[in-house]
Structure formats: C-alpha cells, structure tokens
Amino acid sequence: MLTWLMENMATIIISAVLVLVVAAIIVSMVRSKRKGKSSCGCGCAGCAMNGACHPAKPETMGK
C-alpha cells in the first residue's frame, strides 16, 4: 500500500488541488447567488437575457 501511494503521490496531490479549486469556485458561486449578484459579472443592464433571470417584480397596489 505504501509503495502504491509513493508511486502515485504526484497524481494524488494534483487531484487534491483540483478538487479544492473546484470546491472554492462552487462556494464562491453559491455565495454570490445568495447575495443576488449576477453570475456573469458584467451586470444585467446590457444583458439580452435580463428578463429571463430577473423577472420584473409586481407593483404593490396600495403604496
């Protein structure tokens, strides 16, 4: 078992680093989504799909 670990140490380390990077990206995306930020990072004003991902909120009648 120890020889297998030593033979594959580079693969194990690279895989662990990649898993950590992907996890960090996912956590960042979830936090941004919870804060209501856009996922593309450029804002919604000029986006052709802004009506699809952020539908207009209904007006309140009794203001």
d(CA 53, CA 29): 15
pLDDT value at residue 39: 61
Q: Is the pLDDT of residue 61 over 70?
A: no
pLDDT value at residue 17: 98
Q: Please answer whether residues 43 and 36 qualify as being in contact, where contact means their C-beta atoms are separated by less than 8 angstroms.
A: no
Per-residue pLDDT of 5-55, as tens digits, reads 999 999 999 999 999 999 999 999 888 888 877 666 666 667 777 667 666
pLDDT value at residue 15: 98
d(CA 37, CA 56): 16
- Predicted structure pTM score: 0.58
